[in-house]
């Protein structure tokens, strides 16, 4: 389930791909693990039936959507304007932590994610009050499946990294930046509906 939730290519997938190309597998993986952690948090809210937290997040949908949309626009512009790295970046703790944290915040500001988890958990017959064991198992599965996807994506892209020219990387930055910005604009436009 976690693998299927993470696999569709959206703004987080583009960010993981770009960071894997620009900074290596560790940066791409930490980007994905930030999203996997946020998915697991929302999965826990849905799986453990924390209706008060769930209701609060749904009520704050406009504010969270606004913050998420603006953050996507910021990341899109920053990605579009960034110069390709000329050499592999070292695995500095602060940059890896920043990759993890920024993606966690971006994913956690999407309140629609919790609705998808409620639907998925209901599809598994979990209802609104599953047992702790069953809910814990599903949440662990969400995180593990998502983490496996991000490991495969960042590893695959990093393996191809040595064949990528600076010009190609510049094009990836431009395309990724424009698409991430478009996702942000789309998120902001959905707020008006």
Q: Tell me the per-residue pLDDT of 106-135, one tens digit each, with 9 for 90 and over.
A: 888 876 666 666 656 655 555 555 567 777
pLDDT at site 123:
54
* SS3 state at 64: helix
Below-70 pLDDT ranges, the chain:
1-9, 49-58, 84-94, 111-131
- State the residue range of the domain holding 139: 2-191
The backbone torsions φ and ψ at residue 65, rounded to the nearest 5 degrees and listed phi first, read -65, -40
Angle in degrees, CA 2, 124, 5, rounded to 5: 20
pLDDT at site 68:
74
The backbone torsions φ and ψ at residue 134, rounded to the nearest 5 degrees and listed phi first, read -65, -45
* Cβ contact 20:88 at 8 Å: no
Domain count, the chain: 1
| Phi-psi domain of 169 (left: phi exceeds 0; alpha: psi -120 through 50; beta: other) | alpha
pTM above 0.75, yes or no: no
* Cβ contact 76:172 at 8 Å: no
pLDDT at site 87:
43
> Token digits for 112?
């629609």
pLDDT at site 89:
39
Model pLDDT for residues 65-76, shown as the tens digit of each residue? 787 778 778 877
């Amino acid at each position: 389930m976690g693998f299927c939730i993470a696999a569709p290519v959206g703004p987080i997938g583009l960010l993981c791909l770009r960071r894997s190309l620009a900074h290596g597998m560790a940066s791409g993986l930490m980007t994905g693990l930030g999203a996997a952690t946020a998915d697991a948090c929302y999965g826990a809210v849905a799986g453990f039936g924390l209706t008060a937290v769930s209701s609060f997040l749904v009520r704050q949908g406009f504010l969270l959507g606004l913050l998420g949309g603006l953050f996507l626009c910021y990341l899109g512009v920053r990605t579009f304007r960034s110069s390709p790295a000329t050499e592999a970046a070292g695995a500095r703790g602060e940059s890896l932590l920043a990759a993890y944290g920024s993606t966690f915040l971006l994913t956690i500001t999407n309140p629609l994610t919790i609705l998808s988890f409620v639907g998925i958990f209901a599809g598994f017959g979990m209802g609104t009050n599953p047992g702790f064991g069953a809910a814990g198992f599903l949440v662990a599965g969400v995180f593990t499946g998502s983490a496996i996807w991000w490991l495969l994506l960042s590893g695959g892209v990093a393996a191809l990294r040595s064949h990528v020219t600076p010009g190609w990387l510049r094009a990836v930055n431009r395309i990724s930046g424009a698409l991430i910005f478009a996702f942000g604009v789309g998120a902001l436009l959905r707020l008006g509906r």
